[in-house]
Amino acid sequence: MKTLKTILAGVCLAAAATSCNQTVQTESGNAVIETIMARRSIRKYKAEPVDRETMNRILECGINAPSGMNKQSWEVRVVDDPAVMDQIKELMAASNPEIPAEAVKGCFRGAPTMVFIANDPAYDFSVIDCGLLSENIMLSAWSLGVGSVCLGSPVRFIKNSPEALARLGFSEGYNPVICIGLGYADEAPEAKPRDWNKVRFVE
């Protein structure tokens, strides 16, 4: 998943700026680049929920991401009701008995809003479309003061739970591929080193 995010970062830079109509420049000259460089994965959140107006803006930025042939080969489900989230956690725990229930229920890192993204496997590049959508969501969220974390464990647990999948209500044939937790950060992690040795110009 980290690899996918790295590959798509350059494309998302332009998309995140134009989709959200963000034209305000920071003192250093480029708000988009500053957002990309400042964003961190957040794994500790305040209890305060993200209001629907802010979430709708974030989701608008997400669905304005580029997609292959404009197929928009994804579906998005948002859960911000604690009662619904508890239902999904219970269903996931029941369907994954080999994993301690608390580990299953804790895989969302306490984020008050969860975004579940599913792809259309009938389209070869659908997973890439989902990655573009996801990065737009996370970058626009950060620009609005909302933290995020891209999670893989919930996807594995949900795929084992037909009941949890049914509760999310994805269209038939769509498969969950990415889960994004969103909320107001209760931590300020430092950036981890990036490996420039994996980047080179071909000459």
Nearest to 35 by CA among 117, 167, 142: 142
Task: Tell me how far apart the alpha carbons of residues 172 and 160 are, in angstroms, rounded to a whole number.
Answer: 16
Query: Residue 57: which pLDDT band, with cuts at 50, 70 and 90?
Result: very high
Predicted confidence at residue 29, as pLDDT, reads: 78
Supply the pLDDT for residue 28. Answer: 67
Mean pLDDT over 126-152 rounds to 97
Mean pLDDT along residues 67-95: 96
201 has pLDDT over 90: yes
Average pLDDT across the chain, whole number: 88
Which domains can be identified in the chain, with CATH numbers?
2-188 (3.40.109.10)
* DSSP classification of residue 99: S
CA–CA separation, 147 and 185 (whole Å): 5
Task: Quickly count: other Cβ atoms within 10 Å of residue 64's Cβ.
Answer: 18
59 pLDDT exceeds 50?
A: yes
